[in-house]
């Protein structure tokens, strides 16, 4: 049986998705975290909350990336 997530009352920053210059959205990492995976389907996009997460994807990718706040 899975344990329930605890709510510590911490409010997350507003969520955003990452889009590259080809208008594809970020869907995760490939090859053990060495490459970023992008998709044309916006429903596959992963929501992020922190600038640190954006910077990690930006360091892996050599394209221009943009945050799109939801």
pLDDT digits (tens, 9 = 90+) for 21-66: 999 999 999 988 889 999 999 999 999 999 999 999 999 988 899 9
Domain limits, the chain: 16-69
pLDDT at 9: 78
Most distant CA pair in the chain: distance in Å?
43
Question: What separation in angstroms does the CA of 51 have from each of 1, 4, 10?
Answer: 34, 27, 17
Global pTM reads 0.79
The answer to whether residues 26 and 37 touch, using CB atoms and an 8 Å cutoff, is yes
Q: How many CB atoms lie within 10 A of CB 36?
A: 22
Beta bridge partners of 25: 19, 39
For residues 48 and 46, give the distance between their C-alpha atoms in angstroms, rounded to a whole number.
6
pLDDT of residue 3: 63
């Amino acid at each position: 049986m899975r344990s329930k997530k605890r709510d510590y009352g911490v409010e997350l920053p507003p969520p955003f998705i990452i889009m590259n210059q080809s208008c594809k959205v970020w869907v995760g990492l490939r090859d053990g975290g060495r490459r970023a995976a992008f998709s044309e389907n916006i429903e596959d996009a992963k929501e992020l909350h922190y600038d640190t997460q954006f910077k990690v994807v930006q360091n892996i990718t050599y394209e221009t990336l943009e945050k799109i706040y939801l």
